[in-house]
Amino acid sequence: MRTSNRRAVLAGLGGLGASSLAGCVTQVGASGRASSGLIAPARPTFVVPPLAPLRMSADRITKITVCLRPFRAAGPRLDVETVGDKRVVHNYGHGGSGWSLSWGSSTIAAGKALEGGTKEVAVIGCGALGLTSALLLQRAGAKVTIYAKERTPQTRSFRATGTWSPDSRVADADKVAPGFPALWEEMARTSYATYQTLLGLPGEPVSWSDRYTLFDGADETRQHVEGPVRFAEYGDRLRDIVPSPHDLPAGSHPFPVGRVRHGISMQFNVTEMAHMLTSDFLAEGGKIVTMTFDTPADLARLKEPVVVNCTGYGARALWKDETITPVRGQITWLAPQPEVRYGLYYRHVSVLPRPDGIVVQQVGDSDMWGYGVTEERPDRAEAETAVATIAALYAKV
C-alpha cells in the first residue's frame, strides 16, 4: 500500500455539503518556495460558505459517456517525420492530460510546423490539441485548415472530465527520456498561464472551484498494484504557481468523515471551451473540412506541405502506433445544479459540477483502473454504483 494523492487526489477534487453547513478552514494560496531565513506568513482563515447539497439519485442520470485516454509510456509524441512529400508534426498521446497540456504542447508543435517559413498548414483532428494547434498557428500568421472526421461534440476530448490534471496518465516514470520532466513542466506552465487569461469570460470556459477530498479510514491509502506502468507524478514541479491542498483540523469542517483535505483547482467548461475555440478559429479565417484518413498515405490528398497530427487515440489505428494504450474512463452525468460550486472525492468516486451537468466518475481503487480496457460501451451498473456511493455519504449529513 502507498499513500497516493491521485494527482493531489484528482487535483484536490472533492466536496460535500448541505445548505446549512458552514465552518472555518485555513485559506489556501499558491505555495512559493521559501527563501533561506524568511518566516512564512501565517495563513488567514475564512468561513466556508453554505454548501448546496448534491442531489444524487439514479433517476437524475441524463447520460453516460466513455472516453479512451491515449496513454503513451514515453509521454506525448511531438516528433517530426516525412510522409511522402509532407512534413508531419505529431501532437498526440497525452493520456488524461489533453486539455490541461493543450496550449503548451501545441505551442511546441506549432513552432516545429513553422520551421522553414511554412505558411500553409493542415491540422488533422478537431479535439483539444487540434483546436489549440490550429489557433496558435493561425495567430502566428499561417493559413490553417483543420481536416477531421468528427467535429468537437463527437471527439473524445469532448468527453473529458474537465479538471486541471496536467500529469494524469501522461507517462510512465520509468520509460520517459531524461529530459521529459522538464519538457512536461514547460508544457504545463505554458498551458497554466494561458488558461489564466480565459478566467472571468462569459460562459466561464475556465474557472476555479473548491475541492474537498474525504477520507473515512480504509481508503486513506490507494492500493498500488504492481503492473506494467508506474504513472509519472510531476505536481511538485508546479508548487510555486498552483495552490496546494491541505488537511483541515478536526472539528473545523462539517463532513461526516474522519479526515478532510481542502484545495482549489481550475476546471474547464469543456462545452463552452470547445465552442469558443472553434468560433475563434473560424472567425479568424480558419476552415474546417470533413475528411477521413485511413492510412498516412491519405495525407497526399492535402494541398498543404506541413501537417500537424492531432488525432489522439485515433493515432493508434491511423499510424499503427502500438505505443498507445487505452485507459478507459466513464462519466455519469446528472442534471445540472447551478447552485453547486464545489467538487468532491470520496471512496474512489469523484464529483465535479459543470454548467452542462454534474460529472460523477468512478476512478477505482488502484493505479491500474481502466488501463488497457478498450470497451467504450457505457456500463450502467458502474454508473449507478458511483452515484449510490455519493448518495450514501449525503445520507449521513
What's the rounded Cα separation, in Å, for the pair 112 and 98?
Answer: 19
Q: Closest Cα partner for 67 from 159, 171, 165, 166?
A: 159
**pLDDT tens sequence across 13-41:** 333 333 223 222 233 333 333 333 344 44
Question: Is pLDDT at 330 greater than 90 in this prediction?
Answer: yes
Residue with cell 455539503: 17
Q: Which one, of 336, 247, 194, 205, lies nearest residue 12 by Cα?
A: 247
pLDDT of residue 253: 76
Q: How is domain 70-160+271-318 classified at the CATH fold level?
A: FAD/NAD(P)-binding domain (3.50.50)
How far apart, in whole angstroms, are the C-alpha atoms of residue 217 and residue 273? 38
Please say whether the beta carbons of 8 and 263 come within 8 A: yes
Q: How are beta strands 24-26 and 45-47 bridged, if at all?
A: antiparallel
Count CB atoms within 10 A of the CB of residue 374.
10
Burial string for 265-274 (b: 16+ CB within 10 Å, else e) reads: bbbbbbbbbb
pLDDT given for residue 249 in this prediction: 82
Digit-coded pLDDT (tens) for 124-175: 999 999 999 999 999 999 999 999 999 888 899 999 999 999 999 999 999 9
Query: What's residue 373's pLDDT?
Result: 95
Count the Cβ atoms, other than its own, within 10 Å of residue 190: 18
The reported pLDDT for the residue numbered 47 is: 54
Rounded-to-integer distance, Cα 306 and Cα 45, Å = 54
Q: Tell me the mean pLDDT in the region 350-376.
A: 93
- Tell me what the pLDDT averaged over the chain comes to: 87
The type of residue at 240 is: D
Supply the pLDDT for residue 32: 37
SS (HEC) of the chain: CECCCHHHHHHHCECCCCCCCCCEEECCCECCCCCCCCCCCCCCEEECCCCCCCCCCHHHEEEEEEEEEEEECCCCECCEEEECCEEEEECECCCCCHHHHHHHHHHHHHHHHCCCCCCEEEEECCCHHHHHHHHHHHHCCCEEEEEECCCHHHCHHHHCCCECCCCCCCCECCCCCCCHHHHHHHHHHHHHHHHHCCECCCCCCEEEEEEEEEECCHHHCEECCCCCCCECCCHHHHCCCCECCEECCCCCCCCCCCEEEEEEEEEECHHHHHHHHHHHHHHCCCEEEECCCCCHHHHHHCCCCEEEECCHHHHHHHCCCCCEEEEEEEEEEECCCCCCCEEEEECCEEEEEECCEEEEEECCCECCCCECCCCCCCCHHHHHHHHHHHHHHHHCC
- Which residue, 144, 146, 270, 263, is CA-closest to 198? 270
Rounded to a whole number, what is the distance in angstroms from the first to the last CA of the chain? Answer: 30
What would the mean pLDDT of 109-122 be, rounded to a whole number? 96
What pLDDT, on a 0 to 100 scale, did the predictor assign at position 212?
93
Domain(s) of CATH 3.50.50.60: residues in the chain: 70-160+271-318
Q: Which residue has the higher pLDDT, 50 or 201?
A: 201
Name which of 310, 312, 290, 311 is nearest 301 in CA terms: 290
CA atoms of 221 and 38, how far apart (whole Å): 34
pLDDT digits (tens, 9 = 90+) for 202-248: 999 999 999 999 998 755 555 555 678 999 999 999 999 999 998 88
Which residue would you say has higher pLDDT here, 372 or 17? Answer: 372
